[in-house]
Amino acid sequence: MYPPIATDIPSTSNASLDKVVFQIERLSGQINIVSIRIDEAIQEMSARGQQTVSSLTNNFNKDTVEHVKRMLFLFFLAKGGEEIAQKKYRKRIRLSKHDIERL
């Protein structure tokens, strides 16, 4: 990945400490790579978001809003008519008090 970094190694070097230091340096390099990739992904998402907003702004004009309002009005009108028809033509069983007492 990255070229090795030249560091001064003390004469009383401990192999296990050197291994830990090497792993930490390697891990920090990988963290830097991940952060760079995340920054690139965020920039790409931001650019796509800006394209979407500009597209919606250009293509979603006042006529579209009026058409949506008309469609909603027709939908609610049809739904209301359906509810009225169901209530009007619902079959009702008429019972008198005597019918209940005979059960």
Task: Note the pLDDT of residue 58.
Answer: 76
Is pLDDT at 99 greater than 80 in this prediction?
Answer: no
Per residue, the 3-state secondary structure of the chain, as one string, reads: CCCCCCCCCCCCCCHHHHHHHHHHHHHHHHHHHHHHHHHHHHHHHHHHHHHHHHHHHHHCCHHHHHHHHHHHHHHHHHHHHHHHHHHHCCCCCCCCHHHHHHC
Please give the mean pLDDT across all residues of the chain. Answer: 80
The pLDDT tens digits for 71-87 are 999 999 998 888 888 87
Q: How far apart are CA 16 and CA 53, in angstroms?
A: 55
Task: Note the pLDDT of residue 73.
Answer: 93
Is pLDDT at 28 greater than 90 in this prediction?
Answer: yes
Is pLDDT at 48 greater than 60 in this prediction?
Answer: yes
What is the per-residue burial (b if ≥16 Cβ within 10 Å, else e) of 39-65? eeeeeeeeeeeeeeeeeeeeeeeeeee
Is pLDDT at 103 greater than 70 in this prediction?
Answer: no
Task: Note the pLDDT of residue 24.
Answer: 93
